[in-house]
């Protein structure tokens, strides 16, 4: 029995604008239990949903004889990781929410909270064996678009905790409205929710972004919407490259699994835009679409290295054999509330 061999467990939670994912992880990286619930399902608020999911997960773990050691939590928005406070997350309706202390006192556990993209970036490089001592952009592409900025080997948080809000760089002034209140943001074209919404607004009937990506060769509408997404992302990255001079861009999140239709097209568009310097190396995350939940795990599982992370990815992938309809990393941080859907 895994439970008897590894009674000490960690609880990890990835809170997104669409779903809340929670897992119970053994000290060897094996996933012992998992839950995915809509963020705005039966419960009246996102916090009530989080507590409902965690009541079940913690209850099950303790009934199974596991000993939860600590809880890691990823949240979108602007997050003060030191204080464990989500200072602002419009898509969750949160402002100055002391999430770590709320959860810590309810479950009698140490709790660490961090921003989803930054936690995923830290996990990415633990999975690759070393944190870079150079300049790197980690870009989760999911429901929304975000970035973690690594500058000279340091994860930048910014003056207000909102460094890396790539999704809300305006690339088409006066363009599509974004839920953040601006118009023409990267996320309004390249977020998975936006891609699906724009495709359907044009008369398309796809159920998922994967379907749209696969339809590109024969479907003009799919090609147009996808090209708009790649173009918006390329323009956003163009600005980030000019300012930060990264040597490597790592694409994460569910959309990063789309293959050459994304990576090749993005590289080609950046080559057209960047007349004065080469395009940085572009790679796909080793965490596939699981950056958020693995990032949350690694906030508290300090000893996890490549082996445990490989085990985590293996167990997570068991039920995710293809690009998910709702990508797993909720990269867009400011305004990505989407219709609730399982
Ligand atoms: Zn925006």
Q: Read off the pLDDT band of 5 (50, 70, 90).
A: low
Say whether pLDDT at 268 is over 50: yes
Domains plus CATH for the chain? 2-121+290-317 (3.30.420.40), 131-284 (3.30.420.40)
Q: Yes or no: say if 89 and 78 are a contact pair by the CB < 8 Å rule.
A: yes
Q: How far apart are CA 96 and CA 338, in angstroms?
A: 22
Task: Assess whether pLDDT exceeds 80 at residue 325.
Answer: no
* CA distance linking residue 178 with residue 191, whole number of Å: 10
Confidence bin at 77 (pLDDT 50/70/90): confident
- pLDDT tens, residue by residue, 103-119: 999 999 999 999 999 99
Q: How far is the CA of 62 from the centre of ligand 1 (A)?
A: 41
Rounded distance from Cα 10 to ligand 1 centre (Å):
34
> Above pLDDT 70, what percent of the chain?
91
Confidence (pLDDT) at 272? 98
Greater confidence (39 vs 325) lies with: 39
User: Can you tell me the mean pLDDT for 199-215?
Assistant: 93
Does the structure show a pLDDT above 80 at 176? Answer: yes
Q: How far is the CA of 165 from the centre of ligand 1 (A)?
A: 9
The two counts, helices (H) then strands (E), for the chain are 11, 13
Q: How far apart are CA 42 and CA 17, in angstroms?
A: 15
> 307 C-alpha to center of ligand 1: Å?
38
Whole-number pLDDT of residue 78: 87
Interacting residues of 163 by C-beta distance below 8 A, sequence separation 6+ = 149, 156, 157
Strands (E) across 163-280 are located at 248-252
Over residues 323-335, the mean pLDDT reads 36
Rounded distance from Cα 229 to ligand 1 centre (Å): 14
Q: List the beta bridge partners of residue 233.
A: none
Instruction: Give the DSSP per-residue string, 90-145.
Output: TTTTEEEE-HHHHHHHHHTS-EEEEEHHHHHHHHHHHHTTS--SS-EEEEEBSSSB
What ipTM does the predicted assembly reach? 1.00
**How long, in residues, is the chain?**
342
Per DSSP, what are the bridge partners of residue 72? Answer: 12, 112
CA of 31 to the centre of ligand 1 (A): 35
Provide the pLDDT for residue 6: 52
Residue percentage of the chain with pLDDT more than 90? 76
Local confidence band at 179 (pLDDT 50, 70, 90 cut-offs): confident
Task: Calculate the CA 310 to chain-centre distance.
Answer: 18
* Bridge partners for 34 per DSSP: 23
Considering the chain, what is the average pLDDT of its residues? Answer: 89
What spacing in Å lies between the alpha carbon of 115 and ligand 1's midpoint?
17
User: Is the confidence at residue 321, as pLDDT, over 50?
Assistant: no
Average pLDDT over residues 249-278: 95
Helix axis angle, 306-317 relative to 116-127, nearest 10°? 120
Confidence at residue 322, expressed as pLDDT on a 0 to 100 scale: 35
Buried b (16+ CB within 10 A) or exposed e, 202-211: eebebebbbb
Rounded average pLDDT over 300-317? 93
Centre of ligand 1 from the C-alpha of residue 327, in Å:
18
Distance 336 CA to ligand 1 centre (A): 9
Q: pLDDT tens across 130-165, in order? A: 889 999 999 999 888 999 999 999 999 998 888 999
Q: Which helix (H) or strand (E) holds 148?
A: strand 148-151
What backbone phi and psi angles, to 5 degrees, belong to 147?
Answer: -155, 150
- Across 249-270, average pLDDT: 95
Whether the per-residue pLDDT at 2 is higher than 60: the answer is: no
- Backbone phi and psi for residue 167, each to the nearest 5 degrees, phi listed first: -65, -20
């Amino acid at each position: 029995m895994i439970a008897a061999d590894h009674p000490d467990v960690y609880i990890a939670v990835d809170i997104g604008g669409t779903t809340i994912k929670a897992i119970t992880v053994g000290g060897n990286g094996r996933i012992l239990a998992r839950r995915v619930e809509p963020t705005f399902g039966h419960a009246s608020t996102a916090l009530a949903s989080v507590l409902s999911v965690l009541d079940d997960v913690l209850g099950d773990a303790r009934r199974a004889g596991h000993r939860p050691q600590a809880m890691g939590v990823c949240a979108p928005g602007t997050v003060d990781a030191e204080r464990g406070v989500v200072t602002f997350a419009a898509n969750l309706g949160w402002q100055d929410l002391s999430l770590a202390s709320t959860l810590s006192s309810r479950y009698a556990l140490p709790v660490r909270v961090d921003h989803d993209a930054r936690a995923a970036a830290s996990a990415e490089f633990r999975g690759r064996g070393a944190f870079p001592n150079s300049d790197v952009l980690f870009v989760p592409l999911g429901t929304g678009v975000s970035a973690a900025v690594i500058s000279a080997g340091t994860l930048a948080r910014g003056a207000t905790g909102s460094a890396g809000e790539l999704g809300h760089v305006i690339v088409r002034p006066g363009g599509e409205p974004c839920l953040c209140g601006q118009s023409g943001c990267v996320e309004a074209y390249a977020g998975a929710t936006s891609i699906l919404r724009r495709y359907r607004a044009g008369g398309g009937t796809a159920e998922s972004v994967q379907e749209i990506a696969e339809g590109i060769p024969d479907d003009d509408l799919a090609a147009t919407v996808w090209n708009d997404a790649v173009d918006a992302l390329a323009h956003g990255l163009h600005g980030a490259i000019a300012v930060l001079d990264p040597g490597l861009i790592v694409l994460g999140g569910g959309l990063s699994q789309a293959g050459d239709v994304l990576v090749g097209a993005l590289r080609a568009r950046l080559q057209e835009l960047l007349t004065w310097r080469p395009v940085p190396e572009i790679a796909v995350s080793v965490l596939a679409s699981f950056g958020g939940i693995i990032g949350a795990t690694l906030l508290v599982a300090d000893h996890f290295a490549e082996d445990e992370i490989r085990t985590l990815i293996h167990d997570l992938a068991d039920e995710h054999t293809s690009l998910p309809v709702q990508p797993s990393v909720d990269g867009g941080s400011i305004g990505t509330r989407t219709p609730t859907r399982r």
